[in-house]
Amino acid sequence: MVQLRLLETTDLHVHLAHYDYYQTKVDHTVGLVKTATLIQEARSQVKNSLLFDNGDFIQGNPLGDYLARVRGINEGDIHPVIRAFHTLQYDAITIGNHEFNYGLDFLTRVLSRAKMPIVNANIYDVKTNKPYFEPYVILNKTVFDENGEIDILKVGVIGFVPPQIMEWDKGNLEGKVIVHSIVETAKKYIPEMKNKGADVIVALAHTGISADPYNPNIENAAYYLSQVEGIDVVLAGHSHHLFPGPEFKDVPHIDLEKGTIHGKPVVMAGSFGSHLGVIDLTLQKKNSKWEIVDSLSLVRPIADANGHPLIEANEAVMAEISPEHQATIEYVNTPIGETTAPIFSYFALVQDDSVVQMVNDAQTEYLVEKLKDPSLKQYAGIPILSAAAPFKAGGRGGPDFYTDIPAGTLAIKNIADLYLYPNTLQAVLVNGRQLKEWLEMSAGQFNRIDPEKSGEQSLINSHFPSFHFDIIDGVEYQMDVTQPAKYDVNGCLENPDSSRIVNLKYKGNPVRDDQMFIVATHNYRASSTTYPGVREGKVIFTSPDENRQILTDYIRKNKIIHPSADGNWSIAPYNGTAKPIFYTSPKAKTYAAQYKHLQYIGVENNFAKYMIHMSFS
């Protein structure tokens, strides 16, 4: 018998230090320097172990932006993430969708100095039609059995990323690579790995867990990947969830006690270094072949439910990343303007919000100037709108995942807080009908409220990511949440006859189906082939400038910002006795008193619970 422990980190998003660059303070709930201590402990408890990272490690906080956009990675430089991986002696890593946010050239420079294997099987080079990365590796792992005898275990490791990267990072990838189905690619390579002698095959699957009906290009494919013959273990990621965990208690063919899906061990270790994924395998050699006879999957946290640290930071990793960490702190404190009032996103999902308003104001002003270019004169006179979403609105990010900027100086760190991603601005030409469908998709943020049903009803659809909740400024509208959502979270038509968007107007007049508009948005949204309304539109302007830089320039130009929302959208009131409730941060209580329609109820699972009064009665 051989006991083999597999360890996973995933979705680090450059959270190397236990530090919040937005608030410029220590944060014990994040950081590879903390996870590293768990890694050391987990290794010390067993004779045999392997350590893997499951992708999304170079983008996601100001440290990543500083290295990619300000300082750069020059010849001879080793990215601090890669240095940290070296210090911890990772056995192999894969890449996630956010690895492509800064372009292929930057990614190539980062990965070129890595000592460990980097695997991905479903990204192909357009020119050669061959895998862009090494699709898999077979590690010859020396193992000790229960009697201390030495043997060799051939561990095959293969990597996957969601095919949607071709949509999400179209500007960086189109014409350079193509991406194939995760599951179909696995079916191609697993037999080949077996033929080359792999005893155990581990999938580093940068993809989430969903039992939604299968289609070849499914984004969250780990559930179906576990059904592929020959795959023994799945290390999942991408969706920032914890597996095993209660979120998956009602999913068929899942054993949360053992941490298996379809009988195979699976783990997903959250995000930002908050947890270490652990899978313990018991292997037995029968007729010269290794078999997994038992397994147990679990996740180990770096902090308790209240954010109190459970372990100390790893000094060696902290020392390794310290130069870039300190440089990032200095960078994010660079002042760019002032705000006369606090800027916060605690109620961004239930009412018009000053964070989204500021982004939309900046995008609109920018696009108005750009469309004065003579080469774009055919679009003169068409109304210009702007779409933006509340990126930091709790959800899977937890009760602290909100923007909260005090009145006073605005610095670079606040821009990254106001606009989380390194997107670039694009403009889409749509007609009135397409504009309404765009908003119908956005309205999927809400559950349906039954006004005749008394008692509490949850208003927010927890499966709908807030970055899909586009608020479009320049028009006025209401959302009727007593109607069913027209589209599901994937943009598929669910209730064709439903209409949640009511009273859609431009300058006080109803929007006509044939009325044309130009909408400023970001490259992810503009290039979407799945988001209703947008997917039928036409991209007429592509800017090289990041939305965050546009916001920075807007603040620098205005110098003093007076944050407020213009109230161009709202949830439509109704007659009835329903009590719609929603959850936000407990810190929201500081500001809640100014909103008479919001009623604080209490705290549940570290979130503050509120009721919103929307009834006429």
Banded model confidence at residue 422, pLDDT cuts 50, 70, 90: confident
User: Rounded to whole angstroms, how far apart are CA atoms 472 and 443?
Assistant: 12
pLDDT, residue 312, reads 97
Banded model confidence at residue 374, pLDDT cuts 50, 70, 90: confident
Domain extent listing, the chain: 2-328, 335-612
Banded model confidence at residue 58, pLDDT cuts 50, 70, 90: very high
pLDDT, residue 397, reads 87
- Cβ(412)–Cβ(549) under 8 Å? no
pLDDT, residue 330, reads 96
Domains 2-328 and 335-612 share a fold: no
Banded model confidence at residue 171, pLDDT cuts 50, 70, 90: confident
- Cβ(188)–Cβ(150) under 8 Å? no
Burial (0-12, 13-18, 19+ Cβ within 10 Å), 341: middle
Average pLDDT value for residue range 58-87: 94
**CA 245 from centroid of its chain's CA atoms:** 19
Count of all residues that appear for the chain in the document: 617
pLDDT, residue 266, reads 98
SS3 assignment, position 283: strand
Backbone φ and ψ for 170, nearest 5 degrees, come out as: -55, -45
The whole-model pTM stands at 0.82
Question: Which of 379, 466, 391 is closest to 427 using CA atoms?
Answer: 379
Tens digit of each residue's pLDDT (9 = 90 or more) over 505-562? 999 999 999 999 999 999 989 989 899 999 999 999 988 788 998 999 999 999 999 9
Strands (E), 1-102: 2-9, 19-20, 25-26, 49-53, 92-94
What is the 8-class DSSP label of residue 467?
G
Tens digit of each residue's pLDDT (9 = 90 or more) over 258-310? 999 999 999 999 999 999 999 999 999 988 899 999 999 999 999 998 899 99
Tens digit of each residue's pLDDT (9 = 90 or more) over 589-616? 999 999 999 999 999 999 999 999 987 6
Which structure tokens are listed for 233?
């273990």
Is residue 390 predicted with pLDDT exceeding 90?
yes
User: Rounded to whole angstroms, how far apart are CA atoms 33 and 15?
Assistant: 9
Please spell the DSSP secondary structure of 303-353, one letter per residue.
B-TTS-BSSPPPHHHHHHHHHHHHHHHHHHT-EEEEESS-EE-TTTTTS--
What separation in angstroms does the CA of 462 have from each of 96, 348, 444?
Answer: 23, 14, 10
CA distance from start to end of the chain: 69
pLDDT, residue 546, reads 86
pLDDT, residue 201, reads 98
- Cβ(124)–Cβ(179) under 8 Å? yes
Fold of domain 335-612: 5'-nucleotidase;  domain 2 (3.90.780)
- How many other CB atoms are found less than 10 A from the CB of residue 537? 24
pLDDT, residue 616, reads 62
pLDDT, residue 287, reads 87
User: Rounded to whole angstroms, how far apart are CA atoms 419 and 550?
Assistant: 11
What separation in angstroms does the CA of 573 have from each of 44, 479, 480?
Answer: 59, 9, 8
- Cβ(582)–Cβ(350) under 8 Å? yes
Non-local CB neighbours of 513 within 8 Å, separated by 6+ positions = 431, 432, 433
Which structure tokens are listed for 40?
């050391």
Is residue 85 predicted with pLDDT exceeding 90?
yes
- Cβ(599)–Cβ(610) under 8 Å? yes
Question: Which of 208, 190, 209 is closest to 200 using CA atoms?
Answer: 190
Average pLDDT value for residue range 104-129: 97
Is residue 617 predicted with pLDDT exceeding 70?
no
Average pLDDT, the chain: 96
CATH of range 2-328; options 3.30.413.10, 3.40.190.10, 3.60.21.10, 3.50.50.60: 3.60.21.10
Question: Which of 403, 369, 310, 335 is closest to 552 using CA atoms?
Answer: 335
User: Rounded to whole angstroms, how far apart are CA atoms 160 and 335?
Assistant: 41
pLDDT, residue 332, reads 93
The strand pairing partners of 49, in sequence order, are 5
SS3 assignment, position 150: strand
Which structure tokens are listed for 593?
């008193």
